[in-house]
């Protein structure tokens, strides 16, 4: 590996991007979200998850359109082109705040889960800190490394989800899903609300990652992303379906970690028992990806806003910041529940959909586009170099 591989830039394929998108959408969402949706839509939550899929693609389409106009720039950069330097920086600042908050929330989720289920006596900051060490390293290495890790995690995640779905077949009570549409369509439609913020609008991270696509892969992008959206939507439907049929509506509503509870029921002839830790493994893998991407977006946007030559110097301080942030971000578990269910969707949609949409509208209005290469400059050499001795080949 070249020492400077992925130092400031990397290139990823559209396949890798779609897998990252899938892991991002699943992480936190498929494991925490079903409770929220079930509490609104009751036994029709699977319909909600189905209805959400077109919204997912629509949101991502906005980012793709912006990407077409500014193929090699992240939002931090084209915001300045569209709205002027200072207003653009202000917009980027809101995104920086958004991603920092998101990182704190996600870290809070995973720390909370590990703390309650597995390591009750260990201080939360230690669990969070240990997690962030690996995140910091991943972000430091760059988006390529994250993408390759994502490919491995993708395979494992699919495998475990398939395994869990299969082994739960004998624990399903399909009649828990009846009666369908007890309160008409209002139930499933209202159930969409939590999903809008979590994970849909959070996919705005794509605005920071899309410029990293290899040039030759750009044509496949739409198709790959389409598959990813379908797959994550499908997994969401399957998990909602399983949750209600195995646990029943009331218990699914009451358990914050409903997928974990459901996996506790796996029992094949008393031999395949107590395998719920697989769910924990999937969760940690997907949350890792989500956090890595979030921190990466955060650091890239911040360093572009400050016109730095590389994002690497900010990785460590930002990761350090997210740990105490994860501890102060919620007062208690009730605050966590109500915030995630009620407020986050509105804030995330405002930040992740409305804001980019407005940028897109202004860009179209004034026909702004730029093929400028906004990526970070090549690794700065230690000593002045002659033309022949350029920096290391980028990954």
Partner 1 sequence: MGPIIACVLFAGAMSILLWHQNKKRQQIKEGVWAIVFLWGAIAVIVAKLLHLPMSPPTDWVAAITAPLYKPIVAWIKGG
Partner 2 sequence: MRRAAGIGPGKLRARLVRLMLLVLLMAACAPLSACWDIQYLDQLGVVLAVGVDDDPKGKFRYQVTVQVVLPRNASPGDQSGNGSPVMTISEKGDTLFEAIRKMSAKTSRRLFFSHMQLLAIHENTAKKDLYPLLDLIDRNADIRSDISVVIARGLRAEQLLEIRTQMEAVPANQMKEAIEVNEKAHGQVFSVLVRDIVRMADSHLKEAAVPAIGVEGMPEAGNKDNNVTQIKPDVIPELTTMAIFRDGELAGYLTPKESRGYVFLRNRIKSSVLKLSCPRTDGHYIVEIFDSDTRTKVRQSPQSSDTPLVHVQVRMEASIHELTCQDFNVHDESSFREVELAVNQAVEAELDAAIGALQKKLRSDALGWGREVYQDQPAMWKRISGNWNDVFPNVPYELECISRIQSMGIRSNSIAK
Contact between 217 and 8 under an 8 Å Cβ cutoff? The reply is: no
Least Cβ distance, residue 200 to partner 1 (angstroms): 15
Minimal distance in Å, beta carbon 33 to partner 2?
A: 20
Question: Cβ 235 to partner 2, closest distance in Å?
Answer: 25
CB of 191 to partner 2, least distance (A): 18
Question: Rounded to whole angstroms, how far apart are CA atoms 395 and 1?
Answer: 8
12 binds, among partner 1, partner 2, none (CB under 5 to 8 A by kind): none
Note whether 103 and 325 are within 8 A (CB): yes
Task: State yes or no: residue 286 binds partner 1 (CB under 8 A).
Answer: no
- How many residues are there in the chain? 395
| Whole-Å CA distances, 78 to 26, 262, 265, 311 | 29, 45, 50, 17
Q: Rule CB under 8 A: is residue 265 a binding residue for partner 2?
A: yes
Burial of 29: CB neighbours in 10 Å, binned 0-12, 13-18, 19+: buried
- Burial code of 111-145, b = ≥16 C-beta within 10 A, e = fewer? bbbbbeeeeeeeebeebbbebbeebbebbbbbbbb
Residue closer to partner 2, measured from CB, 44 or 202: 44
Q: How far is the CB of 130 from partner 2 (least distance, A)?
A: 7
Task: Establish if 116 lies at the interface with partner 1 (CB under 8 A).
Answer: no
Of 121 and 219, the one with the shorter C-beta distance to partner 2 is 121
How is residue 385 written in tokens? 């170099």
Under the binding rule (CB under 8 A), the answer on residue 296 touching partner 1 is no
* Residue 90: contacted member of partner 1, partner 2, none (CB under 5 to 8 Å, by partner type): none
Site size toward partner 1, by CB under 8 A: 40
- Single out the segment in contact with partner 1 by CB under 8 A; choices: 64-72, 76-84, 109-117, 336-344: 336-344
CB of 365 to partner 1, least distance (A): 25
Can the peptide bond before residue 304 be classed as cis, meaning omega within 30 degrees of 0?
Answer: no
Sequence-ordered list of residues with C-beta below 8 angstroms from that of 251, at least 6 positions apart, any chain: 258, 261
**DSSP H or E stretch at residue 7:** none
Q: Are 42 and 240 in contact (CB under 8 A)?
A: no
**Nearest CA among 214, 211, 139 for reference residue 374:** 211
Binding site for partner 2 (CB under 8 A): 1-3, 116-123, 126, 130, 175, 178-179, 182, 247-251, 254, 264-265, 267
**Residue numbers at the binding site for partner 1 (CB under 8 A):** 40, 97, 101, 104-105, 186, 190, 193, 303, 306-310, 312-314, 316-318, 320-321, 323-325, 327-331, 335, 339, 342-343, 345-347, 350, 380, 382
């Amino acid at each position: 590996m070249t020492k400077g591989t992925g130092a400031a830039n990397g290139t990823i394929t559209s396949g890798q991007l779609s897998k990252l998108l899938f892991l991002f959408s699943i992480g936190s969402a498929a494991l925490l979200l079903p409770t929220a949706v079930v509490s609104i839509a009751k036994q029709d939550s699977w319909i909600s998850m189905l209805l959400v899929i077109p919204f997912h693609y629509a949101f991502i389409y906005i980012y793709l359109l912006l990407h077409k106009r500014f193929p090699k720039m992240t939002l931090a950069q084209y915001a300045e082109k569209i709205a002027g330097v200072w207003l653009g920086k202000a917009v980027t600042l809101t995104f920086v705040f958004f991603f920092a908050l998101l990182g704190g929330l996600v870290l809070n989720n995973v720390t909370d889960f590990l703390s309650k289920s597995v390591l009750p006596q260990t201080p939360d900051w230690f669990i969070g800190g240990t997690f962030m060490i690996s995140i910091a390293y991943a972000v430091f290495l760059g988006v390529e490394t994250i993408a390759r890790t994502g490919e491995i995690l993708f395979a494992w995640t699919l495998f475990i989800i398939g395994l869990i779905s299969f082994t739960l077949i004998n624990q399903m009570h399909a009649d828990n899903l009846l009666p369908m549409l007890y309160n008409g369509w209002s139930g499933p439609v209202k159930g969409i609300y939590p999903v809008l913020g979590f994970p849909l609008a959070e996919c705005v991270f794509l605005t920071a990652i899309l410029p990293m696509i290899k040039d030759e892969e750009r044509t496949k992008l739409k198709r790959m992303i389409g598959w990813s959206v379908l797959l994550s939507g499908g997994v969401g439907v399957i998990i909602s379906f399983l949750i209600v049929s195995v646990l029943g509506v009331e218990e699914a509503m009451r358990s914050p970690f409903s997928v974990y509870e459901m996996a506790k029921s796996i029992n094949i002839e008393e031999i395949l028992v107590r395998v719920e830790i697989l769910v924990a493994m999937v969760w940690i893998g997907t949350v890792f990806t989500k956090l890595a991407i979030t921190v990466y977006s955060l650091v890239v946007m911040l360093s572009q806003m400050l016109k730095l030559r590389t994002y690497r110097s900010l990785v460590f301080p930002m990761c350090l910041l997210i740990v105490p942030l994860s501890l102060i971000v919620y007062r208690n578990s009730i605050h966590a529940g109500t915030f995630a269910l009620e407020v986050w969707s509105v804030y995330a949609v405002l930040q992740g959909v409305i804001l980019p949409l407005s940028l897109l509208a202004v860009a179209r209005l004034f026909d702004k586009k730029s093929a400028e290469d906004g990526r970070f400059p090549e690794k700065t050499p230690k000593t002045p170099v002659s033309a022949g001795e350029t920096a290391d080949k980028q990954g």
